[in-house]
Copies of this chain bind each other. A is one copy, B any other.
C-alpha cells in the first residue's frame, strides 16, 4: 500500500503539502492541487479515513435535514448543497424528517457523537431548546432558533408583500393566504406578516388558513383544499399560496369546479422550483427563491463554521426574491 510519503515523492512536494491538499486548505495553488491529485490517482493511494477522522476528530460529513427530499424545492436545494460540499471535500448525509421528531433529534445526537461535523437544518419539527444545548456547527434554512445559530433564508417578508401587492394591483378585493403552520418558528411565517400588512395598508379584507407541515405532496394539498379551504372560496378572489405545488393543487381544484382562473380567482405561489419552471399550462405566477444561491450559502457557511476560519465571521443572510408573472393572475 502506498503511503502519504510516496504520494509526496511522486508529486515532488512535501508531505505537509499533500496533507493540505487533502484537507482543502485554501492557500494551495490549482497546479499543486492537480499534481497531488494526479499522484494520488496514479498510486491508488487510500488514506485510512476513519483513523484520520478519529485523530482529527473530523468526519468530513455534513448532515442535511429537510422535511422531504422528494418535494421539488428541497430536491433542488439538496443538489446545490451536495455539489458545493463535494467541491470542498465534504459529503452529505441526507435525512428526511417527514413528521418524525425522533429522527430530527437523532441527527443532533450524531453531531454530539462526532459522526457528522455540522448540520444544515431545514426542518421545523422539534423545539429550539434541543439546538441551544449543543455548542457545535449548525446552520438553519428559514429558521431563527437563537442568536448563536446563523440562518440562511429568502426574503420571505418582501415575498409576502410582493405577492399581495400583485394580487391587489390585479384588482383583487378579498384575499386568502394559505400558509404552513404559523406555530413553528419558521422564517417562512414572515410571508404571512407581509401579506397581512399589505392587506391592512390597502384596506383589503383577508383571511389566513394554515396547513400542517411535512406532508408537502400534491395529493395532501388537494384534499386539504377540498376539506378546509373550499367552503371559503366563494367569498375570495385572490389566493397567495405558500408554495407552488399548493398553488397548482388550487388551480386544478378551480379547474375541476368551474372557477375560472385568473378571471374569477387569481392565484400566486412561492418557490419557482423546477416543477414550476417546467410547467407550461398554466404558467404559475410566483415568488422566485434563488434556490442555487441558498444551497451554496448554506453549505459554504456550515463549512466555515466547521473549519472555524477566524477570518470569516458567519452572518445570517436573507437573499432577495422576485416576482415571476405567469398566467394565473
Chain A interface residues toward B at CB < 8 A = 46-51, 53-54, 59, 61, 68-70, 72, 75-76, 78-79, 82-83, 86, 91-96, 98, 103, 109-110, 112-115, 217-218, 245, 248, 252, 255, 274-275, 277-281
Q: A81 CA to B109 CA in the complex, in Å?
A: 22
Given contacts A255-B280, A280-B255, contact A218 B50 (CB under 8 A): no
- Smallest distance from the beta carbon of A45 to chain B beta carbons, Å? 9
B contact residues around A279 at 8 Å (CB): 279
Question: Which residues of B sit under 8 angstroms from A59, Cβ to Cβ?
Answer: 50
Closest to A63 in B: B91
With contacts A49-B110, A255-B280 taken as known, whether A79 is within 8 angstroms of B68 at the C-beta atoms is: yes
A70 and B61 contact, CB distance less than 8 A: no
Per the bound structure, the CA–CA distance linking A94 and B51 in Å amounts to: 22
- Tallying the copies of this chain within the complex gives 2
20 additional contacts (CB under 8 A) given A50-B53, A51-B54, A69-B78: A46-B112, A47-B113, A48-B113, A49-B113, A49-B114, A50-B50, A50-B114, A54-B54, A68-B79, A69-B69, A69-B75, A70-B78, A72-B72, A72-B75, A72-B274, A78-B94, A91-B94, A93-B93, A94-B94, A245-B278
Give the distance to chain B from A106, nearest Cβ to Cβ, in Å: 8
Closest Cβ of chain B: how far from A186's Cβ, in Å? 21
- Per the bound structure, the CA–CA distance linking A94 and B91 in Å amounts to 7
CB<8 Å pairs between A and B, sample of 13? A46-B109, A48-B113, A48-B114, A50-B59, A50-B114, A51-B54, A54-B54, A79-B96, A82-B96, A91-B94, A248-B278, A255-B280, A281-B281
